[in-house]
Chain A
Amino acid sequence: AQSVTQLGSHVSVSEGALVLLRCNYSSSVPPYLFWYVQYPNQGLQLLLKYTTGATLVKGINGFEAEFKKSETSFHLTKPSAHMSDAAEYFCAGGGSQGNLIFGKGTKLSVKP
């Protein structure tokens, strides 16, 4: 079955620290991978995406992710967390019907 797994439902970092949010996908998921962010009381918006080409993908707000086929991973990183990064982050992969399958989300908290 197709699945996208996010490790850790809640990650807490200090302001200025490295952000690492983990995502693994099942090998049956087509290699189209995305990270979305959801701020409180808002819809989701795209942070970055991998479809083809360079495996290190840069997105908005200083985030980047690396597609690693051998590890079936697509972890999201940011070198230095800001308070404004506090939000829910969703990893998603392409489903068999062309839709997106979302992971269960990781809540990022940023401490002053």
Chain B
Amino acid sequence: NAGVMQNPRHLVRRRGQEARLRCSPMKGHSHVYWYRQLPEEGLKFMVYLQKENIIDESGMPKERFSAEFPKEGPSILRIQQVVRGDSAAYFCASSPSLTGETQYFGPGTRLLVL
């Protein structure tokens, strides 16, 4: 099992561009979580998705950010019109079910906005 995969590992964007971050959960996992880590901070929850459904997006900024987890393919975190404050590490985690299963983390995508 290759574990949770994220790509790209590093992403550089200029202000105003779009950033697309991808997460492939572990085989057999249908739950995906996105977290953001700003410099010198802990990970902060953004959104929780199941296949084709957003379950909890209480941590998502109200504008410019969106997430999806389609029936086929990876989960996508999309940031439109990026600003310098979006520079952070974005981590994806997956779990097999809702009932207290461990979340397994990917290696993260480091986004740098110039």
Question: Do A and B associate with each other?
Answer: no
Chain A residues close to B by CB (< 8 Å): none
